[in-house]
C-alpha cells in the first residue's frame, strides 16, 4: 500500500508506535496482523514468552479496508506521529498464530476481576518471587529448564479466583495496557484512550469470555488467550 493510512490524531499514532516498539523490543523479527474496516484499525501481535495475543486498536480519520500480516519493525518505522499517519509495508508470510484470531463478537463479561492497582501489585510480587527463587537455586540447578519450571509455576496462577492466568496480566502491564487513562480537564478520555474496541471511559477494564477464549480488556488494548481445556470453541480462521 503506497498511500498512507490517516489515523484520527497524533495521539493515536503515538500510542500505536509505543505498542509496536514494545513488540519489537521483545522480538526484533515480530510480525503483526492488521485488520481495518470502516473507521478502525486493529493490530494483533504475539510477544514471546507470555503466550497471549496482544491487540491494539486505533481510530482512523478516513475509512479503510485491509487484512494482511506485516513486519512490526517496518510498520513502526512507517509511523509519522506528528502527521498521524502510517504506511503499510509489504505483506510477509505470517506465523501460525496470525491465521487463528479471537472471535469478533459474542464476548460476555466475567465477574471477579480485581482493580488495576491490585493486578499491578500481583505482577510485582510475582516478579519478586521469581527473582528470589532463582537466586536461591544451587549452582548445579541453575538451568534454563529449572527457571522455566519456576516461571510456569508462578505465571500460571490465576487472578483472584478468575480463570485469568497471571501471565496475561504480566503481558498487559509489560505492553503498557495497564497504565492510567489520560483524562483531560473536560472529562473525556484523551486521544488514543480508549480505542474503538477497548470499551469506554477511564474504568474500561474487564475480563471477557467468548467460547474458548478469554480477554483482558483495558482502555489501551487487550490481551487474549485460550481458556484451559477450552477445545476448539469459536476459533476464527481468517485468510492471511
At residue 166, the pLDDT reads 97
Q: Are 163 and 214 in contact (CB under 8 A)?
A: yes
48 CB-near residues (< 8 Å, 6+ apart): 26, 27
Nearest to 122 by CA among 216, 208, 53, 228: 216
Q: Which pTM does this prediction carry?
A: 0.84
Which grid cell is 17?
508506535
Q: What is the pLDDT of residue 194?
A: 37
Q: Taking a C-beta distance cutoff of 8 angstroms, is the pair 208, 110 a contact?
A: yes
- Residue range(s) in the chain whose domain bears CATH number 3.10.150: 5-101
- What pLDDT sits at residue 57? 95
Please give the pLDDT value at position 82.
95
How do the pLDDT tens digits run along the chain, 240 residues long? 557 899 999 999 999 999 999 999 999 999 999 999 889 999 999 999 899 999 999 999 999 999 999 999 999 999 999 999 999 999 999 899 999 999 999 999 999 999 999 999 999 999 999 999 999 999 999 999 999 999 999 999 999 989 999 999 999 999 999 987 555 444 444 433 333 333 334 457 999 999 999 999 999 999 999 987 654 333 343 433
Give the chain as a 3 state SS string.
Answer: CCCCEEECCHHHHHHHHHHHHHHHHHCCCCEEEEEEECCEEEEEECCCCCCCEEEEEEEECCCCCEEEEEEHHHHHHHCECCCCEECCCCCCCCCHHHHEECCCCCCEEECCCCCHHHHHHHHHHHHHHHHHHHHCCCHHHCCHHHHHHHHHHHHCCECCCCCCEHHHHHHHHHCCCCCCCCCCCCCCCCCCCCCCCCCCCCCCCEEEEECCEEEEEECCEEEEEECCCCCCCCCEECCC
Give the pLDDT confidence score for residue 38 in this predicted structure. 86
The pLDDT, as a whole number, for residue 49 is 85
- pLDDT, residue 227, reads 87
Shortest CA distance to 158 belongs to which of 150, 169, 149?
A: 169
Per the CB < 8 A criterion, the answer to whether 43 and 114 are in contact is no
- Predicted pLDDT of residue 199: 39
CATH code at 5-101: 3.10.150
Amino acid at each position: 500500500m503506497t498511500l498512507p493510512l490517516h489515523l484520527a490524531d497524533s495521539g493515536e499514532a503515538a500510542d500505536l508506535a509505543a505498542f509496536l516498539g514494545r513488540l519489537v523490543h521483545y522480538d526484533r523479527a515480530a510480525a503483526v496482523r492488521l485488520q481495518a474496516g470502516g473507521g478502525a484499525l486493529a493490530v494483533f501481535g504475539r510477544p514471546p514468552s507470555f503466550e497471549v495475543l496482544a491487540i491494539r486498536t486505533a481510530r482512523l480519520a478516513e475509512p479503510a479496508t485491509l487484512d494482511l500480516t506485516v513486519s512490526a519493525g517496518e510498520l513502526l518505522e512507517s509511523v509519522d506521529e506528528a502527521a498521524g499517519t502510517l504506511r503499510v509495508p509489504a505483506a510477509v508470510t505470517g506465523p501460525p498464530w496470525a491465521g487463528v484470531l479471537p472471535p469478533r463478537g459474542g464476548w460476555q463479561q466475567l465477574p471477579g476481576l480485581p482493580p488495576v492497582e491490585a493486578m499491578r501489585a500481583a505482577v510485582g510480587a510475582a516478579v519478586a518471587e521469581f527473582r528470589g527463587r532463582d537466586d536461591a537455586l544451587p549452582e548445579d540447578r541453575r538451568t534454563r529448564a529449572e527457571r522455566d519450571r519456576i516461571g510456569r509455576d508462578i505465571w500460571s496462577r490465576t487472578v483472584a479466583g478468575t480463570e485469568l492466568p497471571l501471565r496475561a496480566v504480566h503481558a498487559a502491564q509489560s505492553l503498557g495496557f495497564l497504565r492510567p487513562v489520560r483524562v483531560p480537564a473536560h472529562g473525556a478520555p484523551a486521544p488514543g484512550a480508549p480505542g474503538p474496541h477497548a470499551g469506554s471511559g477511564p474504568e474500561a477494564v474487564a475480563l471477557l469470555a467468548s467460547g474458548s477464549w478469554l480477554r483482558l480488556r483495558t482502555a489501551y488494548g487487550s490481551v487474549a488467550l485460550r481458556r484451559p481445556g477450552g477445545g476448539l470453541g469459536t476459533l476464527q480462521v481468517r485468510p492471511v
